[in-house]
């Protein structure tokens, strides 16, 4: 046995306990850090080869581990931009130098430029809705942009692009008389069918001005369910711009032709057999509106109808809301929400092996595995909760206990070193 060897073994023990005490210091210092993940130290023995009857002491090796996959507790906040992840996944954030990293710290607030940044200064990244609903890039961070809320406060108008109309057409209505200029689509006031039903819907142009469209439903055929094959009943739907109607008792003739004309067909049970697709081509606004009439029926009941076109009049943003699936909505004064961003989450096969960096963020490495990106609630990823924060997963009582253990173990190792030093003094004094 080497006296110097026992002293070196004691030194390795003191170093290992010093590392353990350092993790305790970090954990206690960050006990109130949002999303912080505690560190710990694992020990493994170092064995030195020895000869028969002669033991060589080795030492101990310490390895730092992080409990990144262990969730902390969740606390409610009053800020809608405070976010937490319930389940697996990390927010994708970017540093000021453009480095993209992962974090669970969701205490985001808009900075002076409108970007959502957490307390460590990292910017939350997401996919914009500039070209419709975004698609996620599963194997990278391409397409991500900083989520910016600054330019949402102005008045925003949205033109109508689609709509629906549902209701019932009375099956007992009379068929329009045959001949010329008998249907509303002919735009003639002299000879329209007495059973024509008129309804209206309101849409919006590019500047947010309201545009009313008049709808005329006219039965053109009762059909013949006994024929082989059966002949369906048919109705014409013709649409005009209300602003182009003639003055007086009759709106016909409109100053412009119909903006849409389509035929709806119904079987003997009153169910629609046509697609119900009606396209409005408005020559005044230049807009095209795709409407869905597929929920119209034809039974022996009163006329009814309920239509709706999308779009909105000029309206200011009053609030920002973030859904559980990561969609960021701008809520306008008119009450209509509009999706503007979608927040993705990222994960790796071994989260506990991620590389911790300053600011409570992590980067992937060869041990943690490849980063995979997805939307919340998909592919095993968790959900995003707005107005909530994940606290540190540090157990303060456990850390205080570990601190006492590290102190005692350090003291014991120092005694071994002191004893070896005393023995060495004995050997030196033998010569005297």
Q: Could you report the per-residue pLDDT of 202-220, keeping only the tens digit for each?
A: 999 999 899 999 999 999 9
* 162 and 268 belong to one structural domain: yes
pLDDT of residue 2: 74
Does 244 lie in the same domain as 180? yes
Task: Kindly state whether residues 309 and 320 are assigned to the same domain.
Answer: no
Residue 12 CA from chain centroid, whole number: 49
Of 298, 313, 328, which one is at a domain's C-terminal end? 313
Residue 355: other Cβ atoms inside 10 A:
13
Q: What pLDDT, on a 0 to 100 scale, did the predictor assign at position 52?
A: 65
Residue 48, number of CB atoms within 10 A of its CB? 13
CB 270 within 8 A of CB 144: no
Pair 147, 90 in one domain: yes
Same domain, 175 and 270: yes
- Res 57: pLDDT: 78
d(CA 277, CA 279): 7
Q: Are residues 356 and 410 part of one domain?
A: no
How would you classify residue 137: left for phi > 0, otherwise alpha for psi between -120 and 50, otherwise beta? beta
- Domain range for residue 404? 3-70+393-429
* Beta bridge partners of residue 312, listed in sequence order: 158
- Same domain? 15 vs 51: yes
Let me know whether 305 and 177 are in one domain.
Answer: yes
Look at the chain and report how many structural domains it folds into: 3
Overall pTM surpassing 0.85 (yes/no)? no
Residue 51 makes CB contacts below 8 A (sequence gap 6+) with none
pLDDT at 427 (0 to 100) = 80
Q: Give the residue from 268, 283, 313 where a domain finishes.
A: 313
Are residues 399 and 351 both part of a single domain? no
Give which of 192, 215, 222 is closest to 303, Cα–Cα.
215
The β-bridge relationship of strands 156-158 and 296-299 is: unpaired
Residues in the chain with pLDDT < 70?
1, 50-53, 153-154, 180, 191-192, 335, 431-432
Q: Are residues 62 and 111 in the same domain?
A: no
Q: What are the φ/ψ torsions at residue 217 (nearest 5 degrees)?
A: -110, 125
What are the beta bridge partners of residue 306?
166
Same domain? For 86 and 60 the reply is no
- Contact present, 381 and 88 (Cβ < 8 Å): yes
Same domain, 201 and 213: yes
**Helix, strand, or coil here: 308?**
strand
Residue 50: what pLDDT? Answer: 66
Q: What is the pLDDT of residues 223-281, one digit of tens each?
A: 998 898 899 999 999 999 999 999 888 899 999 999 999 999 999 999 999 999 999 99
**Residue 51: its pLDDT value, please?**
64
The answer to whether 257 touches 281, Cβ cutoff 8 Å, is no
CA distance 307 to 239: 13
Q: Comparing C-alpha atoms, which of 222, 400, 369 is closest to residue 300?
A: 222
pLDDT of residue 81: 93
Please answer whether residues 298 and 168 qualify as being in contact, where contact means their C-beta atoms are separated by less than 8 angstroms: yes
Beta strand pairing status for 123-128 and 337-342? antiparallel
Q: Final residue of a domain: which of 313, 340, 370?
A: 313
């Amino acid at each position: 046995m080497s006296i110097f060897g026992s002293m070196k073994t004691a030194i390795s023990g003191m170093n290992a306990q010093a590392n353990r005490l350092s993790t305790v210091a970090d954990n206690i210092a960050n006990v109130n850090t949002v999303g912080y993940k505690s560190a710990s130290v694992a020990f493994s023995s170092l064995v030195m080869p020895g000869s028969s009857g002669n033991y060589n002491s080795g030492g101990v090796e310490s390895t730092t581990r992080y409990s990144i996959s262990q969730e902390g507790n969740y606390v409610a906040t009053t800020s809608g931009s405070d976010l937490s992840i319930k389940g697996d996944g990390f927010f994708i954030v970017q540093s000021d130098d453009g480095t993209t990293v992962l974090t669970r710290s969701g205490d985001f607030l808009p900075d002076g430029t409108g970007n959502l940044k957490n307390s460590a200064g990292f910017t939350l990244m997401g996919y914009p809705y500039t070209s419709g609903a975004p698609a996620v890039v599963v194997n990278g961070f391409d397409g991500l942009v900083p989520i910016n809320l600054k330019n949402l406060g102005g008045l925003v108008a949205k033109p109508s692009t689609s709509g629906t109309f549902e209701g019932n057409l009375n099956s007992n209505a009379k068929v329009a008389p045959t001949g010329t200029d008998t249907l509303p689509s002919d735009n003639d006031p002299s000879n329209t069918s007495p059973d024509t039903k008129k309804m209206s819907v309101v849409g919006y142009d590019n500047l947010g001005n309201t545009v009313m469209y008049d709808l005329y439903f006219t039965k053109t055929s009762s059909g013949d369910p006994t024929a082989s094959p059966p002949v369906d009943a048919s109705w014409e739907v013709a649409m005009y711009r209300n602003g182009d109607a003639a003055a007086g008792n009759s709106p016909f003739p409109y100053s412009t032709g119909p903006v849409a004309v389509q035929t709806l067909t119904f079987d003997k049970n009153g169910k629609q057999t046509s697609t119900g697709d009606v396209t409005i081509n408005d020559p005044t606004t230049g807009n095209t509106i795709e409407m869905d009439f597929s929920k119209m029926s034809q039974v022996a009941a009163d006329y009814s109808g309920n239509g709706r076109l999308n779009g909105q009049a000029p309206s200011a943003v009053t609030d920002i809301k973030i859904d559980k699936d990561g969609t960021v909505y701008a809520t306008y004064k008119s009450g209509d929400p509009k999706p503007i961003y979608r927040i993705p989450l990222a994960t790796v096969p071994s989260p506990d092996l991620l590389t911790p960096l300053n600011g409570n963020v992590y980067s992937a490495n060869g041990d943690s595995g490849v980063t995979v990106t997805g939307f919340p609630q998909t592919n095993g990823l968790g959900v995003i909760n707005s107005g909530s924060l994940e606290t540190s997963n540090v157990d303060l009582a456990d850390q205080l206990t570990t601190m006492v253990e590290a102190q005692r173990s350090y003291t014991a190792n120092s005694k071994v070193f002191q004893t070896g030093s005393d023995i060495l003094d004995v050997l030196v004094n033998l010569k005297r």
